[in-house]
Amino acid sequence: MPAPRQISTFDALLTEARAVVAEAPNGFGWAMAHCAQSIDCSIDGFPKPAAWPVRAFIGPMVLKKFLKQGFMRHDTKAPVPGVASPDQNLSAAEGLAKLEAAIARFKSHSGPLAPHFAYGQVSKAAYEAVHAMHAANHLDTLFV
């Protein structure tokens, strides 16, 4: 297994995603739209939070681990809890457009951020890093 992509900023993520969109395999559009949903939920709220012990204890420890190591691995087939999964047939360009829009919205958002469904309260900088790592993990599974 190759080393995981270590992408921790939105700018680096967009550079990577734009560089591979032309050769993107099936599933790229879905994955990028899924990542966009997660970014949007950090503003709008996650509709289905994990149990309070996860949000209070386990989630923050997992977040700290991801931030320290610079990458994440997760079930890349799982939807955002409580959010309808994006269309499986979304084109690469459509998925990338959704990701770009969510990132632009996140960057311009100046209000409070919603607690993550598993990590609990997350700073804006940590949210950016973990969202970028989330998308990088999807890129890793798509481009093996």
* Domain range summary for the chain, segments of one domain joined by +: 10-73+91-142
Say how far apart CA 85 and CA 82 lie, in whole Å: 9
Q: Check whether 144 has a pLDDT greater than 80.
A: no
Contacts of 10 (CB under 8 A, 6+ apart): 103, 106, 107, 128, 131, 132
DSSP category for residue 9: S
pLDDT for 2: 80
Q: Check whether 83 has a pLDDT greater than 80.
A: yes
Say how far apart CA 8 and CA 132 lie, in whole Å: 5
**DSSP codes, 59-90:** HHHHHHHHHHHT-----TTPPPTTSPPPPTT-
Q: Check whether 131 has a pLDDT greater than 80.
A: yes
Across 63-77, average pLDDT: 96
Say how far apart CA 130 and CA 9 lie, in whole Å: 9
pLDDT for 1: 66
Say how far apart CA 54 and CA 14 lie, in whole Å: 30
pLDDT for 113: 98
Q: What is the pLDDT of residues 7-65, one digit of tens each?
A: 999 999 999 999 999 999 999 999 999 999 999 999 999 999 999 999 999 999 999 99
pLDDT for 57: 96
Q: What is the pLDDT of residues 106-121, one digit of tens each?
A: 999 999 999 999 999 9
pTM confidence score? 0.96
Across 79-83, average pLDDT: 95
